[in-house]
């Protein structure tokens, strides 16, 4: 790697906490004011709650790149990478010329959602605190999954304002390279790519090794993921999801698929853009890299996970049933819970693991850990949102000075029930998972280095 990039990576700050949206917006305004010759800040749209979606334009290279943080609002690692990179880029004309890109950077795409995650951004970074203050929207409310598409029986055109704003930006700038900055809660590092780039896989792996962070070698994020190399996958899009459900599911496809496609698929159609995702974990347990055989078949591990998910979903529905009449249909936590507890892919996965010979083998320790413990961590997040769905209605009652003893009692009882289940599961996971919190600096460094590696590679192939 060139010396100028080595220096850039060496100087990543040792961030201790994440920034809020307001802190990042203030930083972007100050950057544009301080470096007007290289940097411009402009509005690309508004969020559903009326927040301004801002984009930084930095440099004037011969190639065009688009980067955005928080495509999911519980994933702020990328915002910190962008916070550092934008400052270094704006002030360093030599770095701008060496990279030779015009950069368009949206630090926070899902602003409204990030605001609902702010209570955990400053720590402490524990499974309990993260999950207790967590928010992730339902699929049809996610900024990166409401791009329009017509595919077989799927016809989605209910695009939300944030997606419309990004569509407009993509249409205008026609980027060659898109860096979509995601991260996971648990596991190791893995990548999604628009097309295979085997020449640089080892460079990306080395970026993780330098930081002492392993690759994710457990179950893929979705059963239809196409693995091109260890921890390297073909980019996901709605067509893959649709085809999987169509093949293995016993569902009405018009009912099962109620969201759109993603920015990567849209930009590929518009201008043949290449999209990279570098997924990283907040929390790490060494079992995620253990490829030795466990004591259970991979099929049985998956089925045990599905059984636990079904039990959790029944619990969530039982808590919501007596209080649904009191919950606003626009309550974001309720919409998310309804989406996540009505997963129609369970039967399809059961059929797939029964037919696919890869699942008749012994699970690796990593796959067992992923299925039996990491999956419970993700249900813990739903339990946190179950509490918050009812707390939100109690807050509205207080703000509106609403007097309704029956409603208040029902909401309080639901909070108590959900809190008890959340605490029990959090305690169980704290006991069963020997995790460490990955330093933000390491995660920023990996995302930044992988982005530079890909940007340099694409300059030679475009």
Which DSSP letter does residue 19 get?
Answer: P
Interval 359-400: pLDDT, tens? 999 999 999 999 999 999 999 999 999 999 999 999 999 999
Residue 343's pLDDT is 64
Interval 16-73: pLDDT, tens? 999 999 999 999 999 999 999 999 999 999 999 999 999 999 999 999 999 999 999 9
Is a pLDDT exceeding 70 seen at residue 232? yes
pLDDT band at 134 (very low <50, low <70, confident <90, very high): very high
Residues 305 and 266 in one domain: no
Going from the C-alpha of 260 to that of each of 163, 366, 397, the distances in angstroms are 10, 32, 34
Is a pLDDT exceeding 90 seen at residue 460? no
Residues 256 and 276 in one domain: yes
pLDDT band at 221 (very low <50, low <70, confident <90, very high): confident
3-state secondary structure of 433: coil
Residues 268 and 301 in one domain: no
Residue 341's pLDDT is 87
Residues 202 and 221 in one domain: yes
Residues 326 and 278 in one domain: no
Which DSSP letter does residue 140 get?
Answer: G
**Residue 69 · residue 107 · CB < 8 Å:** yes
Residues 272 and 170 in one domain: yes
**Domain limits for position 337:** 291-434
Residue 254's pLDDT is 74
CA distance 325 to 327: 6
Residues 186 and 271 in one domain: yes
CA distance 141 to 424: 30
Phi, psi (rounded to 5 degrees) for 88:
-65, -40
**Residue 276 · residue 193 · CB < 8 Å:** yes
Residues 156 and 276 in one domain: yes
Q: For residue 74, give the nearest of 385, 302, 289 by alpha carbon.
A: 385
Is a pLDDT exceeding 70 seen at residue 12? yes
Residues 208 and 326 in one domain: no
CATH code (residue 248) = 3.40.630.10
Residues 62 and 151 in one domain: yes
pLDDT over 90 percentage in the chain: 85
Residues 270 and 140 in one domain: yes
CA distance 57 to 104: 5
* pTM for this predicted structure: 0.93
**Angle at 449 (CA atoms; ends 445, 454), nearest 5 degrees:** 150
pLDDT band at 345 (very low <50, low <70, confident <90, very high): low
Domains held by the chain: number? 2
Q: Tell me the mean pLDDT in the region 76-98.
A: 98
Mean pLDDT, rounded, of the chain: 95
Q: Is 82 left (phi over 0), alpha (psi -120 to 50) or beta?
A: alpha
Is a pLDDT exceeding 70 seen at residue 273? yes
Is a pLDDT exceeding 90 seen at residue 288? no
Residue 447's pLDDT is 98
**Residue 156 · residue 254 · CB < 8 Å:** no
Residues 276 and 319 in one domain: no
HSE, CB side, 13 Å, CA atoms: give it for residue 208. Answer: 19
pLDDT over 70 percentage in the chain: 99
pLDDT band at 349 (very low <50, low <70, confident <90, very high): confident
CA distance 160 to 164: 6
């Amino acid at each position: 790697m060139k010396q100028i990039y080595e220096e850039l990576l060496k100087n990543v700050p040792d961030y201790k906490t994440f920034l809020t949206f307001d802190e990042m917006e203030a930083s972007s305004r100050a950057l544009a004011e301080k470096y007007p010759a290289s940097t411009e800040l402009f509005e690309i749209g508004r969020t559903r709650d009326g927040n301004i979606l801002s984009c930084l334009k930095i440099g004037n290279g011969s190639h065009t790149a688009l980067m955005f943080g928080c495509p999911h609002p519980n994933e702020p690692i990328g915002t910190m990478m962008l916070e550092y990179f934008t400052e270094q880029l704006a002030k360093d004309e030599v770095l701008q010329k060496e990279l030779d890109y015009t950069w368009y950077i949206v630090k926070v795409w899902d602003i409204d959602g990030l605001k609902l995650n702010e209570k955990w951004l400053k720590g402490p970074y524990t499974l309990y605190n993260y999950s207790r203050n967590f928010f992730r929207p339902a699929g049809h409310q996610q900024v990166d999954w409401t791009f329009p598409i017509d595919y077989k029986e799927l016809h989605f055109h209910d695009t939300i304002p944030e997606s419309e704003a990004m569509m407009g930006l993509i249409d205008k700038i026609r980027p060659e390279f898109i860096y979509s900055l995601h991260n996971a809660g648990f596991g190791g590092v893995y990548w999604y790519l628009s097309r295979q780039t085997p020449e640089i896989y080892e460079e990306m792996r080395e970026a993780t090794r330098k930081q002492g962070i392993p690759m994710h070698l457990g179950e893929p994020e979705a059963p239809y993921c196409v693995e091109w190399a260890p921890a390297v996958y073909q980019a996901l899009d709605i067509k893959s999801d649709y085809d999987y459900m169509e093949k293995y599911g016993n569902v009405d496809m018009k009912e099962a698929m109620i969201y759109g496609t993603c920015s990567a698929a849209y930009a590929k159609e518009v201008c043949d853009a290449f999209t990279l995702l570098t997924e990283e974990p907040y929390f790490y347990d060494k079992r995620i890299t253990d490829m030795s055989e466990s004591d259970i078949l991979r099929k049985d591990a998956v089925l045990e996970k599905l059984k636990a998910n079904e039990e959790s979903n029944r619990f969530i529905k039982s808590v919501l049933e007596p209080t649904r009449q009191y919950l606003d249909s626009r309550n974001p936590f309720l919409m998310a819970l309804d989406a996540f507890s009505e997963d129609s892919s369970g039967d399809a996965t059961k059929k797939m693991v029964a037919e696919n010979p890869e699942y008749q083998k012994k699970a690796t320790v990593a796959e067992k850990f992923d299925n039996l413990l990491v999956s419970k961590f993700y249900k813990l997040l739903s339990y946190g949102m179950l509490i918050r769905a009812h707390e939100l209605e109690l807050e509205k009652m207080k703000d509106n000075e609403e007097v309704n003893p029956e409603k208040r009692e029902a909401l309080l009882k639901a909070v108590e029930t959900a809190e008890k289940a959340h605490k029990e599961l959090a305690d169980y996971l704290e006991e069963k998972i020997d995790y460490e919190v990955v330093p933000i600096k390491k995660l920023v460094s990996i995302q930044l280095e992988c982005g530079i590696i890909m940007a340099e590679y694409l300059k030679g192939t475009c």
